[in-house]
Amino acid sequence: DTGVSQDPRHKITKRGQNVTFRCDPISEHNRLYWYRQTLGQGPEFLTYFQNEAQLEKSRLLSDRFSAERPKGSFSTLEIQRTEQGDSAMYLCASSLGLGTGNTEAFFGQGTRLTVV
């Protein structure tokens, strides 16, 4: 296992188009997180999953954003009708679940979205 994998690494899209990002977590990790990071800021929490269940969705996320984690493995983050303000780095992370006493998150390299 080579860690958390995100695809694509870079995405340029025109305003109004839909985009979808994929995250493959570390295989034994049942928690998966999505964050958004803009230049000069810390990662902002977007949403997270425990296995296939989406436990929380940030108020930062408008209805244009949706995330899924079918079968509790990989996850997708879709942004509909993209806006220029959506331009950011989208980070995925995974961790072991509760009961392990260890919530350390491992991060992917991120997907950089540019909306033109």
Partner 1 sequence: AQSVTQLDSHVSVSEGTPVLLRCNYSSSYSPSLFWYVQHPNKGLQLLLKYTSAATLVKGINGFEAEFKKSETSFHLTKPSAHMSDAAEYFCVVSDRISSASKIIFGSGTRLSIRP
Closest to partner 1 by CB, 19 vs 89, is 89
Please report which helix (H) or strand (E) contains residue 12, including its range: strand 10-13
Closest contact distance (angstroms) between CB of 65 and partner 1 is 16
Question: Based on the number of CB atoms within 10 Å of its own CB, is 85 exposed (0-12), middle (13-18) or buried (19 or more)?
Answer: exposed
Closest contact distance (angstroms) between CB of 32 and partner 1 is 11
Site residues, partner 1 (CB under 8 A): 33, 35, 41-45, 48, 50, 55-56, 91, 93, 95, 98, 101-110
Which positions ≥6 away from 58 have C-beta within 8 Å? 44, 45, 46, 47
Closest to partner 1 by CB, 10 vs 15, is 10
